[in-house]
């Protein structure tokens, strides 16, 4: 009974969201930005940039975090979660591009930066990073499709190119995650001092790495429920520990920077900024403290709720940088129109639906196997002490 309600509730909601999204899309492309949004010259970036792009890119960070962990740092135990993370990242970036098409005044000119260069613009770098990294993510995900199609020759070629592709991906996403912070560096007089800092690119990057881990845990939890897979809990526990450490580094940097710039005094000034700042910090600090306790890590539900809280904290941070921190200086109060919300929800719903389809039809949850030489069983020799010992032990 409950299962039926659950299935039909989400399906019905999906249909409603997509229908609203379709109507909003019609409004946007036939009526223009003015008809479909509450954006203005004073406040040109709303939730399509603040949430869809800034959060979308951050939430896709699991791809480069885990690809680097497994393929570059050779920590093989994380191999089972690499493919879902890369799929999430690929879908995340594709949907960011879709969101950009909605937000750009002239979406049909999205290809211009590729031809008409302006190397002094941060936006130029962001545009190029999105283009290149989406391509790289496509190449990283391609082996899964080739495996499904059983195109072994093409798969071999792709596997040979794995490492350079992964390295390119890590470099590009590092550039991109940080350059989204750099975008806001150019408005020191507009962005509230609680969020404007020369360290923005570094803070964006560190929080993106942590978000990559959090998203991987989040999606492992949901995949295990949806597809009846086993949640490799040991792996999840390790990720939460790393997440706690990265959060500690992030928050330490954040507060050192705030006190160094004397921005903490702005917390005494009235206004909703300080409350939003408080919310952001609480949503990150509470899960961090939770994950440092071994008792919490032994409870899957507590870990899941902690991860959800962390992700909401991350979203709060990006929204604060892109919306809350800019409202006071712009002199206008921005609240998104229903069509902006509908488009955003439709993009997220499409992401979930495509992920589900991909997980159903492609070997997303199967690990890639690296051909390694193995000792033939029964080689007829008792392994020596040296064979059993680990060098350096």
Partner 1 sequence: MVVLLVIVTFAVFIAIDLLLSRQKVPVVAPAMQEAEIPAVGQELLSGFHIPMNLKYHPGHTWVQKERKNVHRVGADELAAVLAGPVDRIELPKPGQWVRQGQKVFAFYRGNEKIEMVSPVEGEVVEVNREIAENPRLLLEDPYGRGWLMTVFSPDEESPTRNLLPSSLIPAWIRESAETFYSFQPQLAGATAADGGRASKDATAALPLNKWKEAARALLLS
Residues ≥6 apart with Cβ < 8 Å to 154: 146
CB of 115 to partner 1, least distance (A): 35
Residue ranges in contact with partner 1 by CB under 8 A: 2-3, 5-6, 9, 46-47, 50-51, 76-80, 221, 224-225, 228-235, 237-238, 241, 272, 276, 279, 297, 300-301, 308, 312, 315-316, 319-320, 323-324, 333-336, 341, 345, 367, 369, 372, 374-375, 377-380, 382-385, 387-390, 393
Q: How far apart are CA 147 and CA 142, in angstroms?
A: 9
Q: How far is CA 105 from CA 33, 92, 199, in A?
A: 7, 22, 30
Pick 115 or 382: Cβ nearer partner 1: 382
Q: Which residues of 287-320 are buried (b: 16+ CB within 10 A; e: fewer)?
A: bbebbeeeebbeeeebbbebbbbbbebbbbbbbb
Pick 144 or 342: Cβ nearer partner 1: 342
Pick 105 or 378: Cβ nearer partner 1: 378
Contact 59, 92 (CB under 8 A): yes
CB of 319 to partner 1, least distance (A): 4
CB of 102 to partner 1, least distance (A): 17
CB of 375 to partner 1, least distance (A): 5
Q: Report residue 276 as tokens.
A: 């939003």
Count of other CB atoms within 10 angstroms of residue 375: 9
Q: How far apart are CA 217 and CA 303, in angstroms?
A: 9
Contact 147, 100 (CB under 8 A): no
CB of 243 to partner 1, least distance (A): 13
Pick 26 or 227: Cβ nearer partner 1: 227
Q: How far apart are CA 290 and CA 261, in angstroms?
A: 30
Pick 47 or 139: Cβ nearer partner 1: 47
Backbone φ, ψ for residue 121 (5° rounding): -100, 135
Pick 87 or 345: Cβ nearer partner 1: 345
Contact 239, 272 (CB under 8 A): no
CB of 285 to partner 1, least distance (A): 16
Pick 334 or 355: Cβ nearer partner 1: 334
Q: How far apart are CA 306 and CA 191, in angstroms?
A: 29
CB of 184 to partner 1, least distance (A): 16
Pick 34 or 380: Cβ nearer partner 1: 380
DSSP string, 264-319: GGGGGS-SHHHHHHHHHHHHHHHHHHHHHSHHHHT-HHHHHHHHHHHHHHHHHHHH
Q: How far apart are CA 364 and CA 219, in angstroms?
A: 12
Pick 209 or 345: Cβ nearer partner 1: 345
Pick 4 or 105: Cβ nearer partner 1: 4
**284: number of CA atoms within 13 Å, CB side?**
26
CB of 248 to partner 1, least distance (A): 18
């Amino acid at each position: 009974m409950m299962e039926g309600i659950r299935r039909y509730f989400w399906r019905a909601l999906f249909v409603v969201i997509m229908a609203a999204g379709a109507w909003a899309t019609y409004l946007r492309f036939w009526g223009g930005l003015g008809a479909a949004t509450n954006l203005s010259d004073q406040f040109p970036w709303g939730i399509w940039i603040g949430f869809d792009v800034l959060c979308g890119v951050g939430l896709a960070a699991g791809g480069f975090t885990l690809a680097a962990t497994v393929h570059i740092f050779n920590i093989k135990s994380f191999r089972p979660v690499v493919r879902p993370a890369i799929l999430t990242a690929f879908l995340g970036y594709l949907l960011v591009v879709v969101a950009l098409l909605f937000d750009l005044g002239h979406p049909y000119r999205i290809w211009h930066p590729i031809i008409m260069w302006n190397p002094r613009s941060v936006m130029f770098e962001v545009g190029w990073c999105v283009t290149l990294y989406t391509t790289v993510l496509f190449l990283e995900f391609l082996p899964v499709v080739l495996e499904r199609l059983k195109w072994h020759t093409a798969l071999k070629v792709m596997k040979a190119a794995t490492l350079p592709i992964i390295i390119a991906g890590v470099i590009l996403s590092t550039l991109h995650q940080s350059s989204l912070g750099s975008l806001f560096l150019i408005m020191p007089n507009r962005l509230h001092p609680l969020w404007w800092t020369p360290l923005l690119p570094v803070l964006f990057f560190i929080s993106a790495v942590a978000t990559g881990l959090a998203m991987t845990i989040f999606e492992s939890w949901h995949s295990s429920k949806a597809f009846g897979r086993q949640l490799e809990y040991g792996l999840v526990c390790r990720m939460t520990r790393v997440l706690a450490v990265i959060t500690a580094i992030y928050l330490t940097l954040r507060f050192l920077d705030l006190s160094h710039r004397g921005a903490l005094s702005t917390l005494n000034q009235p206004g909703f900024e300080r409350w939003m700042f408080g919310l952001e910090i609480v949503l990150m600090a509470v899960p961090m403290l939770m994950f440092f306790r071994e008792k919490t890590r032994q409870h899957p539900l507590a870990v899941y709720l902690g991860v959800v809280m962390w992700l909401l904290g991350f979203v709060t941070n990006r929204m604060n940088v892109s919306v809350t921190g800019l409202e006071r200086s712009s002199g206008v109060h921005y609240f998104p129109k229903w069509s902006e919300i509908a488009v955003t929800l439709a993009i997220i719903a499409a992401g979930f639906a495509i992920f589900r389809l991909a997980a159903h039809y492609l070997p997303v949850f199967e690990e890639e196997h690296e051909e390694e030489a193995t000792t033939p069983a029964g080689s007829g020799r008792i392994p020596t002490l040296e064979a059993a010992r680990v060098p350096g032990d």
